Amino acid sequence: MSFTNQIQAVAYCRTPYKQKFGIPRQPGLVSAARGFVELAPPFNQIDTVRGLEQYSHLWLLFCFHENLAQGWKTTVRPPRLGGNEKLGVFATRSTFRPNGIGQSVVKLHGVHSDNGKVRLEISGMDLLDGTPIVDIKPYIPFSDSIEEAAGGIAQEAPVLARVTFCQAAQQQLELYQKSDNYPRLAELIIGVLAQDPRPAYKKAKADPKLYQVALYDLDILWKMLADGIEVLELRPSQ
């Protein structure tokens, strides 16, 4: 038996995450990440989302579009296991999957419609800016949240690293925070870096390397010191 189905993007996600490095591994880990789901023609009619505002959260089904070209493998090495152990691709949330489909639950802050644009204001996403959305569904607590469910290798959220700003970075932060273009910027930087985006085998170890994450149109430069992460500079993306 074989089945194929042509699917198309019903929307695109606009998020602060301009590169994959630094995006949280799952939704809800960085609630300060604010963005939008912009419906694409012909779905961008307000009737398609009529009543959606009654829900506080949404499921977004999307495509890991930046990874599709690399295809998929039967087994993957989940970062959570330090990259040493192999599990079946369907036993993980790997981004390299047979149909490249991801699913994330996000908080819905509002439904906006003006001159042909229909946008859902969301937060807490784990999606790259521009990610194609293939379906949007309301989150239904009585059936979607299962208290007694077993979490396998993903028992709890990652341990958070301490994040500080050197004096120069603190001054740059205060400047950028004056602009409306960077909502909740300090919380976003701290939330993202506290996840320690480096590969699992480096977790919690001091590291002389200078790292950079891209948030909005800014590059955030940082180092992992013995007692946590220090932000060294915020600058316009190169």
Supply the angle between the helices 185-194 and 167-176 in degrees, to the nearest 10: 130
58 versus 127: smaller Cβ distance to ligand SAM: 127
Consecutive H or E run containing 212 = strand 207-215
Question: Smallest gap, in angstroms, from Cβ of residue 30 to ligand SAM?
Answer: 10
The span from the CA of 74 to the CA of 67, in Å, is 16
Question: Smallest gap, in angstroms, from Cβ of residue 92 to ligand SAM?
Answer: 8
- What separation in angstroms does the CA of 194 have from each of 23, 153, 224? 11, 21, 11
108 versus 173: smaller Cβ distance to ligand SAM: 108
Question: Smallest gap, in angstroms, from Cβ of residue 25 to ligand SAM?
Answer: 5
Residues that bind ligand SAM (CB under 6 A): 20, 23-27, 64-67, 93, 95, 102-104, 126-128, 131
31 versus 164: smaller Cβ distance to ligand SAM: 31
Name the 3-class secondary structure at 155.
Answer: coil
Question: Smallest gap, in angstroms, from Cβ of residue 198 to ligand SAM?
Answer: 13
104 versus 123: smaller Cβ distance to ligand SAM: 104
DSSP-derived secondary structure letter, 159:
P
Instruction: Find out whether 60 and 13 touch, Cβ atoms under 8 Å.
Output: yes
